[in-house]
Structure 1
Amino acid sequence: MRKRKITAYLIIISVLMVSLLFMGASCSSTTANVSNAVMTTGIDDNYAPIDNVTEFAVNTDVYVAADLKNAPDDTNITFIWYYEGQQLATKTISNGEVSDAPLAGYLPADFMSQPGNYSVEIYIDDRDKPDTVNQYTVK
């Protein structure tokens, strides 16, 4: 009798552990990715970059354009902008119900008042590492 109880408890605990493992994997795993990120002075009506640059003038608007692929509904995309390693701005958007789409991030000219080294990181959901990092300079 006692052996049956222990076996039953072990089975229940095993089932719970496997369930938790699968729940955690489904919540944190996504096939979404960002590719083809470029810095640009603007984007067209289709969110495509109008050029591909790495240098900007002081007090000009800066854009980053990229492609979002394989994103489940309501995936969050976060743009984090830096100047000389110090965070300047953060913007998070959602893809809604679009799986594959062009992305665009924008940093207003007000943030571009100092010459130096800048960068933008693009993250999918709560990932620890950015999907892409683009560096650029302001002169």
Structure 2
Amino acid sequence: MKKNKLVLTLVIITLMMVSVLFMGASCSSTTANVSNAVMTTGVDDNSMPVDNVTEFPVNSDVYVAAELHNAPDDTNIKFIWYQDGQELDSVTISNGTVSDAPLWGILPADLVSKAGNYAVEIYIDDRTDPDTTTEFTVK
């Protein structure tokens, strides 16, 4: 009796695993994360922020600097830039083989053409919620 229960349980588990594979479900998860995001007027040679600001002049380059942690090889990091809630730009980069490192993104001056409230969201891979959101003002 116990043997029949065990066989039945194994068959059910096997069928469930096979059905998940046929459905094309992705079972990947990552512990990669982004932390300590700051807005800055630039980054130094070590990719570290040169300052920490919340306000930029119109027509200036805007940088966000952060830290990437626990990222497996070929993790995608996506930056989405907004002005007054409207998407301005989106850039995706790969970490290559670097697991833990500073990272940064830039919103070029030609996209910073109006005063207003801006934000940048940083995503890891295909996550639907940003790992971090940083807001700033352009005057």
| CA offsets 1:46-85 (integer angstroms, 9 cap, x no match) | 1000000000000000000000000000000000000000
In 1, the alpha carbon distance for the partners of 2:90 and 2:26 equals 27
One-letter code of the match for 1:36? N
In 2, the alpha carbon distance for the partners of 1:11 and 1:35 equals 42
Local SS of the residue matching 2:51: coil
Shift of the 13–75 alpha-carbon distance from structure 1 to 2, 3 Å rule, reads same
In 2, the alpha carbon distance for the partners of 1:81 and 1:68 equals 18
Task: Give the share of equivalent positions with the same residue, in percent.
Answer: 66
TM-score by structure 1 length? 0.87
In 1, the alpha carbon distance for the partners of 2:67 and 2:116 equals 27
Structure 1 unaligned runs (5+)?
A: none
Q: Trace 1:1-139 onto structure 2 (pairs within 5 A).
A: 11-18=10-17, 20=20, 24-25=26-27, 27=28, 29-139=29-139
One-letter code of the match for 1:44? D
Offset of residue 10 of structure 1: 6.8
In 1, the alpha carbon distance for the partners of 2:16 and 2:129 equals 28
Local SS of the residue matching 2:53: coil
Matched residues, number: 131
One-letter code of the match for 2:73? D
One-letter code of the match for 2:41? T
Local SS of the residue matching 2:104: strand
In 2, the alpha carbon distance for the partners of 1:58 and 1:98 equals 34
In 1, the alpha carbon distance for the partners of 2:91 and 2:47 equals 17
Local SS of the residue matching 2:13: helix
Offset of residue 8 of structure 1: 6.7
Offset of residue 100 of structure 1: 0.2
Offset of residue 13 of structure 1: 4.2
Shift of the 12–24 alpha-carbon distance from structure 1 to 2, 3 Å rule, reads farther
In 2, the alpha carbon distance for the partners of 1:48 and 1:10 equals 54
One-letter code of the match for 1:82? Y
Structure 2 unaligned runs (5+)?
A: none
